[in-house]
Amino acid sequence: MAQTIEISKLYRSGEITHFSGISRQTLYLYSQAGLIQEAKRSSSGQKLYDESIFEILSKIKDLQALKLTLVEIKKVLKEDKQYKFDFLESASGPDNKD
């Protein structure tokens, strides 16, 4: 029986901003706030993100529509059992008071 290997596409920040409609500055801000995390870096140092970034960005947009701050959004994402964003457990950011 053949073994199945799951290959996930990685997206550059320009692709993320194009497909999601957010600016590079917003992507950077979310990264600095600990809301998103790059999957890895290319050999040339470019940040690469896996496809889960789109789910996270969609959730962030939904929470911003409710007028939540980035600190509040991070807290909601940490506590939301529907989404499992492991990197939030150890992410630094504006609410690093835990």
Q: What is the pTM of this model?
A: 0.74
Domain 10-89 in CATH 1.10.1660.10? The answer is yes
Q: What is the distance between the alpha carbons of residues 90 and 34, in angstroms, rounded to a whole number?
A: 9
Give the per-residue pLDDT at 37: 86
pLDDT at 96: 47
- Whole-angstrom Cα distance, residue 56 to residue 32? 15
Neighbours of 51 (CB within 10 A): 11
pLDDT in tens, 14-52: 999 999 999 999 999 999 998 998 888 989 999 999 998
Look at 22 and 89; give whichever has higher pLDDT: 22
Mean pLDDT over residues 64-86, rounded? 84
Q: Report how far residue 41's alpha carbon sits from residue 77's, in angstroms, rounded to the nearest whole number.
A: 24
Q: What residue ranges do the domains of the chain occupy?
A: 10-89
Neighbours of 97 (CB within 10 A): 5
